[in-house]
Structure 1
Amino acid sequence: MNKSMNKSPITTHILDTSTGKPAANVAVKLFVQSNNEWHLITQGKTDTDGRITDWLDTDVEFTTYKLEFDLDSYYQNKEMPAFYPEAQITFRLQDKKHHHIPLLLSPFGYSTYRGS
Structure 2
Amino acid sequence: PAAPADGSAAGDVGVDIRVDGVNRHYQMDPATQTVLGAARDAGLELPFSCEAGMCCTCRCKLVEGHVEMDANFSLETWEIESGFILSCQARPTTPRISVDFDAV
For Structure 1 versus Structure 2, the TM-score category normalised by the shorter chain is: 0.3 to 0.5
Q: Larger strand proportion, structure 1 or 2?
A: 1
TM-score (norm 2): 0.35
Larger Rg over CA atoms = 1
Q: Which has the higher helix share?
A: 2
Normalising by structure 1, what TM-score?
Answer: 0.32
